Amino acid sequence: MHKTLIIALREYKAAVKTKSFILGLILMPVLMGGGMAAFMLFKDKVDTDDLKIVVIDHSKLVREALQERARLRNEKEIFDQETGEKVRPAYVLEFIQSDSTDPFKQKLDLSNRVRSGELHAFVEIGPSILHPDTILENTLIRYYSENAFMDEVRYWFTDPVNNHIRQLRLSEMNLSPEETKDLFYWINIESMGLMEVDKKTGNVQDAQKTNELQSFLVPYFMVLLMFMLVLMSAIPLLTAVMEEKMERIAEVILASITPFQFMMGKILGSISVSLTIAAIYIAGAIITLNQIGQGDMLPYHILPWFFVFLILFVIMTGSVMAALGSACNDNKDAQNLQFPAMLPVILPLFLLVPIMQNPTSSLATWLSMFPPFTPTLMLVRLATPVTIPAWQPYVGLAVVIIFTVFSVWMGGRIFRTGILLQGQKPTFANIIRYALWG
């Protein structure tokens, strides 16, 4: 054990004392949160050139309403309230008559004007929008542009058109807007957690209002953090072991310790590295969220699970990576093995959304009991506000412990043979041979 610790300490120092580690520590949250930060930062920095949109109004009903709404928007909404600076484009609407002789030619010409950049888009309002008839086409509003689906101008049309025709319909029924105010009051459904009894005081606690942060961001970031920690600590063992083998460092060290002590020392080093990073980030998150008054959002009750699963995940992945690294002879071998070896770590990330949406489904339950996926998927299920059956995390834990012991045993056998064997390709057959017969 003593010698394993010496190896672990060296690995830890070698990993933590480098500039790239400190840089990675800073860069990881920047990269993780970077997309979001960039989105927030550049959200308002859109092109402010005026957008010209041609409208063909077959219904002849909404022209004034649209023009009025565009005028209001262009006067007020496109300027920054404090600085008075123009921050959004103005919408310039041009109404034209439909060409009844050759409507296709007219739309083709308009399309070409959009392509040339002269127009942003053109809109065709169906003739029967006020009283929809059986011909669906006549009741639609069609928005034509280069990227219509993602175009936010498209959404802008919905409101003025629908509001106006709604008023027209009410007028036809001789109802005044005051009388119908409540008619269109839309009631939202608030998402709530469940009532709980405080274990200390015995009082019944009111249910908490759940929100996006709790039901989506917390599990998501927990899993992403675990993934990044494994990526920074266990995955690099593959190339590290390969290099030690190629540079004959391993043979020198193996004169003093057993291959198993060597491998476990390296894995223990990886665990320490991952725990260091985890402690820094989680402490950072606790301090930050408390500062901005969101401290309640942190799922303190799953932190122990997080650390237990993290340690097992690093041991499990680390022993596989070290074993594979010991079977490699050069960088090319290592590169070829890296991706397939990482698949079990990456795959659960693609399953996150369906599992977060329905953590108690049988898909979620079974996948979270599959040992390579358990650390990430069981954690997601624990982190969502939904309560999963209490026995499941413990069964998951037992399964992972058994699988981890198996990985270490198997990895140790492969490592013992591979680390001193030069010139053998790391084929599947060879690796199995090392594992079974040493």
Binding to other proteins by residue 420, rule CB under 8 A? yes
User: Distance (Å, rounded) from C-alpha 184 to C-alpha 189?
Assistant: 16
Site string for other proteins, 259-288 (x = CB under 8 A): --x---------------------------
Binding to other proteins by residue 168, rule CB under 8 A? no
Residue 5: CB minimum distance to other proteins, A: 10
Residue 417: CB minimum distance to other proteins, A: 11
Binding to other proteins by residue 16, rule CB under 8 A? no
Binding to other proteins by residue 425, rule CB under 8 A? no
Binding to other proteins by residue 433, rule CB under 8 A? no
Residue 250: CB minimum distance to other proteins, A: 8
Binding to other proteins by residue 331, rule CB under 8 A? no
Residue 216: CB minimum distance to other proteins, A: 42
Whether the Cβ atoms of residue 308 and residue 268 lie closer than 8 Å to each other: no
Tokens describing residue 69: 């709404």
Letter string b/e over residues 41-58, b meaning 16 or more CB atoms within 10 A of that residue's CB: eeeeeeeeeebbbbbbbb
- Tell me, by CB under 8 A, how many residues bind other proteins: 20
Tell me whether residue 155 or residue 437 sits nearer to other proteins (CB atom).
437
Residue 248: CB minimum distance to other proteins, A: 4
Binding to other proteins by residue 244, rule CB under 8 A? yes
Q: Which of 136, 204, 217, 252 binds other proteins (CB under 8 A)?
A: 252
Q: Which of 255, 292, 343, 390 binds other proteins (CB under 8 A)?
A: 255
Span of 127-135, 180-188, 240-248, 326-334 interacting with other proteins by CB under 8 A: 240-248
Q: Which of 66, 161, 253, 377 binds other proteins (CB under 8 A)?
A: 253
Tell me whether residue 249 or residue 283 sits nearer to other proteins (CB atom).
249
Binding to other proteins by residue 254, rule CB under 8 A? yes
Q: Which of 258, 288, 331, 361 binds other proteins (CB under 8 A)?
A: 258
Residue 211: CB minimum distance to other proteins, A: 47
Binding footprint of other proteins on the chain (CB under 8 A): 3, 6-7, 10, 14, 244, 247-258, 261, 420
